[in-house]
Structure 1
Amino acid sequence: MKIDKKERNKLVIVGLVPIIMLLNSVSKSVPQLVEKLYSTGINKPIRQLLSFISSIVPFSAAEFLVFTLIAILIVMVVILIIKIIKGGFLKQLLNIAAYLSGLYVLFMLFWGFNYNRLSFDKIAGLTIEKSSKQELYELCELLIERANNLRAQVAEDSKGVMHIEGGYKDVFKRAYLGYSEAAKLYPELGGSYGRPKGVLLSVPMSYTGITGIYMPYTGEPNVNNNIRDFMLPCTTTHEMAHQRGFAREDEANYIAYVTCTSHPDADFKYSGVMLALINSMNALADVDYEGFRQLYFTYSEGIKRDLQDNREFWKKYEGKIEKISDTVNDTYLKSNGQADGVKSYGRMVDLLLAEYKSGRME
């Protein structure tokens, strides 16, 4: 069978997949090289360029791209089925293989190798080591004190729940300030990037339990703007961490905390501390439930209202779609080397404990 130029190109694209997979596997053993050559080397200008291009449009280009890519795949599968029935399906099978292979190769080139960069504790000069229940308890105590103080400085709505007057648009506008400050200590967080984008279909997105998503193909941090105000700043800065090449979820959470608490405004500081507090108290509840209960009663009434409001909000969206989404996300995380899957979000506490024990935490 004669192979034309187009088919040859498609075979080349498919052939790149095992090469990229091998390179990905090998690069896991040389994080310092990945950090220097890829994450802070060739990949940073790529991320910044994609971010600049997508910033030209005011809406989330990623949101439209996702539906477009899915629609293309559906059409290709339908054509394949027709070809199977009528005959001559091999060319269409190659088309689908080349399409999916191209998406994978671009994902890895645009962002994927960042999973193999230096871990943030190495970048930040923190030492992660085993911590006692008492140290975790003391960390939670400190975070509660900070959260209580900050909660008194933020605005409330008529229900007594934390409220950001300008909404998500104001959060997106101010979010860079925390990164500007944090970059003075950690230059890897610096750089020129486009603003975060709100998801138009945020309400349907809430049924998946997803609060934000970074799109490597467009360089955009996308935020579910339907979530509660006290979580908006930390969710936004979490997705911005991915934009800056930090792929691991636990590290993006910690960076969200760092950049929020570096921010000049109290609403960002409160959001960052609350993210840290929720993760730390969940960890404490697993190992010392009585200690967790004791500390919970020291929350200010404002914090309790915020948390209750958040629980009631998410209860409206619970269901099968969320479970399916969680399974898909878990599989994705595991496929990218986060062995604990969704549970990797809890590793943020190790970084918080390392910061606490280093004496850096206020």
Structure 2
Amino acid sequence: MQQTLKNAAKLFIIALGILAVAFPPNSDWIERAYVNGAYPAWEHFAVSVTAPVPWSLGDVAFLAGAIALVSRIVAFARAPRRRRSILNAALSCVAILALYAVWFTVSWGWNYARAPLESRVRFDDRRITPQAAVKLRARAVARMNALAAAAHAREGVPLDTPALYSAWLPAVMRGGNDWTPLVSLPKPTLADPFMVASGTSGFINPLTLNVALASDVLWFERPFDLAHEWSHDAAYAREDEANYLAILTCLRSPDPAVQYSGWFELFLYLPQARHYARREFVPLVWRDFAALRERNARHVNVLVAHWSWRTYNAYLKTNRVAAGIANYDQVTRLMLGVALDQRLLPLAR
């Protein structure tokens, strides 16, 4: 009888996991009741709890799940043959996975069901043309060249995260949030060796909302990468939207190093010319391109990176981001199609 009740509880958890993942609420409910309803309370609680801790509580959550799975498998393997039950062991393992699926979905994953940013701001797809993209790329090149010397002069200066937050928050609010997100500094993570080997610059742990940046992120990448992960924390799950908000954040900053970070990353996401003459970039910019290549050649494992990005591509498509990892590059659409005011903030619809 007791085992029957346990199995019933496991089946209930599994059913919840399937419902949470397979049947997300509609985007109107997500925007009203989740993104601007329940999620802010959870985000404030999670960040308040995790911020003072010097390491990632997301690692603890992951390890707890892994230990629970391994313990169930070991218990099954060590049990006497007559007491073994493949069904009970399988239900236990699937129930643990389902519990984490519910945790992921309710904690953060429902943000994938949010309506696209262009539905909340003034967006005109007629502005998205090859000519406009070329013009934006030329502006990015010009700004990178103009800012390079001032940015490199601040290479050794620690990033002013409160100032970055001040530039970031208005863009997040203009994008549809009616609440003020809390943020924290990046946490060291056990996943760092994998991030370095796969070329992953950062991530948000969806279970605890910890932000992590790879240990080999370069100084001119850091402002953009941190603003990108903060945007995920603020309920912008789509990669193009997190990129867009991170770029606007950097361009709005008075710090030349932060501005340089934004223009540099924007340039990398824009459609590229086949060849660039040496004179098109100042030597400092070429040096930064070389630093990226050298870092990647030294750290990135091609097989790990290929597997990682294929897996993430499948993950994004599972969460209804049809473009998969190509969604990163769709920031070009937003940069060209969204109208901005004089403060580089999106105009509301």
Instruction: Place the TM-score, normalised by the shorter chain, in its bin.
Output: 0.7 to 0.9
**Count of matched residue positions in the alignment of Structure 1 and Structure 2:** 342
Residue aligning to 2:234: 244
Q: 1:65 to 1:19 in 2, by over 3 A?
A: closer
Structure 2: 5+ residue stretches without partners = none
Residue 11 (structure 1) aligned with residue 8 (structure 2): no
1:124 alignment partner, SS class: coil
1:64 Cα deviation from its structure 2 partner = 3.5
For residues 151 and 246 of structure 1, what CA distance do their matches in structure 2 show? 30
Residue 284 (structure 1) aligned with residue 267 (structure 2): no
- Report the AA paired with residue 177 of structure 1: S
8 Å CA contact 2:204–2:211 kept in 1: the answer is yes
Residue aligning to 1:293: 276
Deviation string, structure 1 residues 3-29 (Cα, Å, up to 9, x no partner):
5443332221112133224431xx3xx
For residues 300 and 96 of structure 1, what CA distance do their matches in structure 2 show? 57
8 Å CA contact 2:224–2:246 kept in 1: the answer is yes
Structure number with the bigger relative contact order (C-alpha 8 A, sep ≥ 6) is 2
Q: 1:1-362, aligned counterparts within 5 Å? A: 3-24=3-24, 27=25, 30-82=26-78, 87-129=84-126, 131-156=128-153, 163-166=155-158, 170=159, 172=161, 174-183=163-172, 185-186=174-175, 188=177, 191-201=180-190, 202-280=192-270, 283-285=271-273, 289=274, 293=276, 297-319=279-301, 320-355=303-338
8 Å CA contact 2:183–2:230 kept in 1: the answer is no
Deviation string, structure 1 residues 37-61 (Cα, Å, up to 9, x no partner):
2111112211221111111312222
Q: Given the two structures, how large is their TM-score scaled by the length of structure 1?
A: 0.84
1:284 alignment partner, SS class: coil
Between 104-113 and 352-361, the greater mean CA deviation after superposition: 352-361
For residues 239 and 253 of structure 1, what CA distance do their matches in structure 2 show? 9
- Report the AA paired with residue 332 of structure 1: Y
- Report the AA paired with residue 121 of structure 2: A
Deviation string, structure 1 residues 317-352 (Cα, Å, up to 9, x no partner):
232222221222122112111222212111111111
1:247 alignment partner, SS class: coil
8 Å CA contact 2:172–2:234 kept in 1: the answer is no
8 Å CA contact 1:198–1:223 kept in 2: the answer is yes
Q: 1:88 to 1:187 in 2, by over 3 A?
A: closer
1:199 Cα deviation from its structure 2 partner = 2.5
Residue aligning to 1:159: none
Percent identity over the alignment is: 22
For residues 360 and 353 of structure 1, what CA distance do their matches in structure 2 show? 16
8 Å CA contact 1:179–1:189 kept in 2: the answer is no
RMSD across aligned positions (CA) = 2.8
8 Å CA contact 1:237–1:255 kept in 2: the answer is yes
1:184 Cα deviation from its structure 2 partner = 6.1
8 Å CA contact 1:179–1:190 kept in 2: the answer is no
For residues 246 and 189 of structure 1, what CA distance do their matches in structure 2 show? 13
Q: Given the two structures, how large is their TM-score scaled by the length of structure 2?
A: 0.87
Q: 1:186 to 1:343 in 2, by over 3 A?
A: closer
